Amino acid sequence: MKEFKVAIIGGGPAGMIAAIAASKNSDSVILLEKTDSLGKKLLLTGGGRCNITNGSSIKEHLKLSNNFLKHSFYSFSNDDLLDFFKSKGIDFQEESYKNVFPKNKNAQDILNVLENTLNNLNVDIELSFKVGKIIKKNDYFIINDTIKARNIIIATGGITYPSTGSSGDGYKIVKTFNHDISEIKYGLVPLVSKNLYLTALSGTPLDNILVKYKKSSSSKTVLISHFGLTGPGILDLSSEISKNLTYDILNYETKFPDNLNISIDFQPKINRDELNNKIINEIPLNGKTKIKNYLKTYLSNKLIDFFLNEINVNGDNTLSNISKKDKNKIIENLKGFNIKIDGLYKDLSKVTIGGIPTNEINPKTMESKIVKNLYFAGEILEPASISGGYNLQIAFSTGHLAGSVINEKN
Ligand SMILES: Cc1cc2nc3c(=O)[nH]c(=O)nc-3n(C[C@H](O)[C@H](O)[C@H](O)COP(=O)(O)OP(=O)(O)OC[C@H]3O[C@@H](n4cnc5c(N)ncnc54)[C@H](O)[C@@H]3O)c2cc1C
């Protein structure tokens, strides 16, 4: 039986960076990956461009995830991550919302750097190796009865996009070590709407808006699609919606509430009274203007017919003929236009919410508090964040921490 200082289960970003950090002292490290290649999900990130991290402060990263990650974020920050890739020749650019992408817009380059580094450090890589069973015997873990390791890092990811290999295997493995799994849910998931008039506007972006669900809101872009709504504004809200629903992720059914709405504020910079005054002031100046033309001030052209149809206001009426009721309806809906949501588009969920509870792991090392020498990294952990590079940073920071801690052990 081959023996290693550490075996890392899962060749995603968390597992790859963990293997790199663990092998800096030329220690014997093996990386075990179920599929026939490393980083399948990484290649899909950012639409193939890899939104690798976010340029906001570590405090912001923490606010958007979980304080449990504090030590890992500070020990391998967004700057450290970018420096690592810059030292291997990759340049980056920061785009809207401080999202950071490689300049040449190619996730493959990020994967190439990780693979080359693993090879240069002589990490043993076993592809098409599905870890099914790990048992602990004295000071060793025995994997699939064939590999012996003194330490283990489980970096098997979550349960979304199973075609990339992340199909929830890790949850079963950790349960055999008496770890719990907190309720897991789809996160960063597009929302289905059956409103055919809305979906006919597929491809329309909604910018400079505020999209709201209960107390959560996002000012990022919302994109209308053929199935409903997506775009970063929707993805960020969706995690909140998903957390509030009762469902079993392994057996998701569309028993969706009948009355789930999100609302869009098309004029977040002004309040209702200001909007009312603007319209009233406009009447003596441009009374002959049709309502549908006047609305171009507030809505993109494509949306106007849909908006008027949904709120049942005749857009051919002129401003001077507008009834108080219609004016109020327009104001109410410009400030809070409700869209009924009929489901989660689960197959496009980008991240799993929930996982191994943070209170079962030492945040300074990523080691299990239940089993010595057992470590975790990446999406298998409970915390998840919003869209914008924050989730890859979690994977890289926690993977790097676990690998570094093992690297420093005898
Ligand atoms: C379409 C899409 C786009 C995304 N875009 C972004 C983005 O731009 N920015 C961002 O920050 N985040 C993004 N994410 C989220 C991000 O990709 C994940 O959070 C990140 O990949 C998690 O890394 P990980 O290493 O923990 O897990 P994964 O990347 O899921 O890797 C886990 C690995 O473990 C392997 N594995 C699983 N079970 C076993 C087993 N039994 N034995 C051996 N190996 C096993 C899997 O095959 C897989 O290779 C996106 C996700 C998706 C799906």
The pLDDT tens digits of the residues spanning 381-395 come to: 999 999 999 999 999
Asked whether residue 345 carries a pLDDT value surpassing 70, the answer given is yes
290 - beta bridge partners? 318
Expressed in angstroms and rounded, the spacing between residue 206 Cα and the centre of ligand 1 is 29
Both tokens assigned to 82: 């970018």
Domain final residue, candidates 294, 314, 346: 346
Asked whether residue 30 carries a pLDDT value surpassing 80, the answer given is yes
Does some domain include residue 265? no
Does some domain include residue 257? no
| 7 in contact with ligand 1, CB cutoff 6 A | no
Using CA positions, which residue lies closest to atom 29 of ligand 1?
Answer: 12
Does some domain include residue 389? yes
9 shares its domain with 158: yes
Asked whether residue 147 carries a pLDDT value surpassing 80, the answer given is yes
**Residue 174: Cβ within 10 Å count:** 24
- Burial environment of residue 342 by CB neighbours within 10 A (0 to 12, 13 to 18, 19 or more): middle
Select from 95, 167, 350 the residue to mutate for testing ligand 1; criterion: most ligand atoms less than 8 Å from CB. 350
Predicted TM-score (pTM) above 0.85: yes
240 shares its domain with 303: no
Asked whether residue 117 carries a pLDDT value surpassing 80, the answer given is yes
Query: Which residue has 């979304």 as its token pair?
Result: 160
Nearest atom (ligand 1) to Cα of 390 = 11
Asked whether residue 22 carries a pLDDT value surpassing 80, the answer given is yes
87 shares its domain with 33: yes
Does some domain include residue 235? yes
Expressed in angstroms and rounded, the spacing between residue 41 Cα and the centre of ligand 1 is 5
CATH number, domain containing residue 245: 2.40.30.10
Average pLDDT (9-33) is 96
Does some domain include residue 259? no
389 shares its domain with 402: yes
Domain final residue, candidates 304, 335, 366: 335
161 shares its domain with 191: no
Q: Which helix (H) or strand (E) holds 289?
A: none
158 shares its domain with 46: yes
Residue 394 and residue 385 in contact, taking contact as beta carbons nearer than 8 Å: yes
- Burial environment of residue 103 by CB neighbours within 10 A (0 to 12, 13 to 18, 19 or more): exposed
CA distance 362 to 365: 6
219 shares its domain with 277: no
Residue 8 and residue 126 in contact, taking contact as beta carbons nearer than 8 Å: no
Indicate the number of domains in the chain. Answer: 3
| 166 in contact with ligand 1, CB cutoff 6 A | yes
Does some domain include residue 196? yes
pLDDT score of 246: 87
Using CA positions, which residue lies closest to atom 3 of ligand 1?
Answer: 45
Both tokens assigned to 69: 């990650």
Nearest atom (ligand 1) to Cα of 10 = 34
Expressed in angstroms and rounded, the spacing between residue 15 Cα and the centre of ligand 1 is 10
Q: What mean pLDDT is reported for the chain?
A: 96
111 shares its domain with 218: no
Residue 209 and residue 252 in contact, taking contact as beta carbons nearer than 8 Å: no
154 shares its domain with 173: yes
CA distance 51 to 92: 10
CATH number, domain containing residue 137: 3.50.50.60
Residue 81 and residue 90 in contact, taking contact as beta carbons nearer than 8 Å: no
CA distances for 24 relative to 56, 66, 118, 388, angstroms: 29, 29, 10, 30
The per-residue pLDDT for range 368-383, each reduced to its tens digit, is 999 999 999 999 999 9
pLDDT score of 247: 84
| 286 in contact with ligand 1, CB cutoff 6 A | no
Expressed in angstroms and rounded, the spacing between residue 157 Cα and the centre of ligand 1 is 5
| 187 in contact with ligand 1, CB cutoff 6 A | no
Range of the domain at 193: 186-250+342-346
Confidence of residue 256 (pLDDT cuts 50, 70, 90): confident
Expressed in angstroms and rounded, the spacing between residue 99 Cα and the centre of ligand 1 is 18
Asked whether residue 253 carries a pLDDT value surpassing 80, the answer given is no
Average pLDDT (88-93) is 98
Confidence of residue 254 (pLDDT cuts 50, 70, 90): low
Residue 396 and residue 402 in contact, taking contact as beta carbons nearer than 8 Å: no
41 shares its domain with 103: yes
Q: Which helix (H) or strand (E) holds 53?
A: strand 53-54
CA distance 229 to 222: 7
Average pLDDT (249-261) is 80
Using CA positions, which residue lies closest to atom 16 of ligand 1?
Answer: 392
pLDDT score of 178: 97
Beta strand pairing call for 185-187 and 191-192: unpaired
Using CA positions, which residue lies closest to atom 6 of ligand 1?
Answer: 45
- Burial environment of residue 346 by CB neighbours within 10 A (0 to 12, 13 to 18, 19 or more): middle
Stretch among 22-36, 160-174, 240-254, 265-279 having the lowest mean pLDDT: 240-254
Does some domain include residue 369? yes
Average pLDDT (274-301) is 94
Does some domain include residue 381? yes
Select from 9, 41, 220, 366 the residue to mutate for testing ligand 1; criterion: most ligand atoms less than 8 Å from CB. 41
296 shares its domain with 201: no
Expressed in angstroms and rounded, the spacing between residue 186 Cα and the centre of ligand 1 is 14
Domain final residue, candidates 305, 335, 365: 335
Burial 9-21 (b: 16+ CB within 10 A, else e): bbbbbbbbbbbbb
47 shares its domain with 171: yes
Using CA positions, which residue lies closest to atom 26 of ligand 1?
Answer: 378
| 13 in contact with ligand 1, CB cutoff 6 A | yes
CATH number, domain containing residue 290: 1.10.8.50
Nearest atom (ligand 1) to Cα of 160 = 53
